Structure 1
């Protein structure tokens, strides 16, 4: 699965994987939300040690990492958008879309080689 829609969550130890299988977004056991390429972190929310237990794609358009007591520890700051979808793309970028419009990204995309 490469995407989460509004109302869906990523729990501790769960991951989203790009369609090409090269990149994974994982909520690690230590509470850090991390984008990995071949086991190496290329982006992190820096939430390790926070006690985070889930990452929610919310109906209000915000992508939020929460502790067990529902206290947020990180957010994309994108509330006010509807119909959102979080996608781990084949170009190594994680993007939150509202419809076809990107409203947040990890900005980790790599240039595609020209044919």
Structure 2
């Protein structure tokens, strides 16, 4: 019985380690989020995209910020007439939705503070007769310094355009 208890304890500890390392990777799949303090790092370790505690999403190259959403200090406020008090929402997480949208939102995911402008980006990079990408299924921090959303066929759907820095 003791051996079984130790085996279960060891297995549960292994699972905690694996789940904690999910965001140490360079890829965020659709339906997943980065909350404050979590990050994605390029495979070579030179580039890190982090949802900071100051509520800004920043891409760093060797410790220097090279791109951000400029959401630090943003807040959404509303007054509840019934309770007669103000409520405040702040940027809390980055989410790649299952519909392919990349957004910085409040904790509940209902208030959007920043969203990747995929239409404008795609219009600048794709021309007829090229096939436009479908909804993004992943976000990757690449070794070249670019952060890219990819569709199911591996076509870029949006990027920070920071490659080569």
Q: Deviations over 1:57-78 (max 9, x none)?
A: 1011100000235210000134
Pairing 1:1-115 to 2, within 5 Å after superposition: 1-50=25-74, 51-69=90-108, 70-78=110-118, 81-82=134-135, 84-99=137-152, 100-110=154-164
Aligned to 1:52, the other structure's residue is in SS state coil
Q: Could you tell me how far 1:83 is from its partner in structure 2? A: 5.2
Aligned to 2:104, the other structure's residue is in SS state strand
Larger radius of gyration: 2
> Separation in 1 of the partners of 2:70 and 2:150?
22
Q: What is the number of equivalent residue pairs in this alignment?
A: 111
Residues 60 and 81, structure 1, Cα contact 8 Å, conserved in 2:
no
Aligned to 1:34, the other structure's residue is in SS state strand
Greater share of helix residues, 1 or 2? 2
Structural RMSD (CA) = 1.8
Greater share of strand residues, 1 or 2? 1
Unmatched 5+ residue regions in structure 2? Answer: 1-24, 75-89, 120-132
Unmatched 5+ residue regions in structure 1? Answer: none
Which aligned runs of 4 or more in structure 1 are off by greater than 4 angstroms? Answer: none
Q: TM-score, normalised by structure 1?
A: 0.89
